[in-house]
Chain A
Amino acid sequence: MATTAAISITSDITDSVPFSVNASMTMYQAGTTLDLEETTGLAQRTFSGNTTQVVLLDVSALSQITAGGAVAHKVYIRNTGTDKTKGFKVFLADAADDVEEIGTLFGQDWLLMPWLASAAAEDIMVQPSSEEKMTIEYAVFHQ
């Protein structure tokens, strides 16, 4: 049950020095070479009419996620819109419910990151920048 992810980044920011990044990974359980075995599947959520911060991934609702200890969960989120002027701010809360902003996903931007999800408060939140219809897709791959 392998889950693999590959990234390729090309840039001509430095046109005299070619730049590219290529990396791939197989998603393993923490500290092992055993494949991750569970996923939320690919989901989609559409926002319209508000620009408030909302919980996208609620740790306490995802009870199947192994809480605490050694985990190697991965989160994928993508702003499916094409408008580069609109974005979703992405936030992460810690166990004490202190919230940090990670960054903004503008149109077509995506992220793939680890997720500790070790306590009920460690949710991932998003905040659309516009009241117009905006859509996000996401998935969690977990132990």
Chain B
Amino acid sequence: MATTTATLTLSSDMLSSPISISASSTLMKAGITEGLELIEMGRGTITENDDSKTAEFGLGTALGVDKAAKLFLVNKATDPTFYIDVDIHDTNIGRLYAGDWMFIPWGINDEASEIVIEAEPVGATCPYEFALFQEPQTLVAHS
């Protein structure tokens, strides 16, 4: 069985009693203890483009309802004012500023589950990297 492990180490000294979080998970298929078997990773660059959505992950071959997938995405820009707006379908999740990363479960249920990213503000160029871990997809039929 393939083993994929995601570990988080988070610390914050905002409070008088500092927050320290260590979390680790072995990434499994939905509802069972078999490891995810498919990985996609890549790098790209997006440029602000008059408020239009300038890039969209073409990864969203729907897995079907209630499958397990995990997405890692990082904004590799170095200018702290440059950010990537991240949407799921037409709902804005939030902004990844330069150096920020996110790691989420991604329910690729259908085509309306797509992750859309956009560089902002005007003049921004944001290199990004991603890694997607998911269950096997059904291969297309021979044409």
Contact = CB atoms under 8 A, between A and B. Distances in A.
Given A41-B19, A102-B106, A25 B95 contact: no
Interface residues of B, number: 65
A38 B12 CA distance: 10
Contacts of B80: 28, 31-33
Contacts, number: 203
Interface residues of A, number: 68
B113 A101 contact: yes
Contact of A42 (B21, B36, B96, B103): B21
A102 B88 CA distance: 7
A14 interface: yes
A111 interface: yes
Contact of A110 (B2, B13, B25, B28): B25
B25 A108 contact: yes
Q: Is the interface of B mostly helix, strand, loop or mixed?
A: strand
A3 B93 contact: no
Contacts of A7: 6-8, 72, 101, 103
A61 interface: no
Contacts of B93: 92, 102, 113-116
Contacts of A74: 100
Nearest to B81: A31
Given A71-B95, A98-B90, A114-B93, 6 more contacts: A11-B5, A42-B21, A84-B33, A108-B24, A113-B93, A139-B21
10 contacts: A1-B14, A5-B9, A6-B9, A19-B41, A31-B83, A76-B10, A84-B31, A106-B28, A106-B68, A109-B27
Interface of A: 1-14, 19, 21, 23, 25-28, 30-33, 36-39, 41-42, 70-74, 76, 78, 84-85, 87, 89-90, 92-94, 98-117, 139, 141
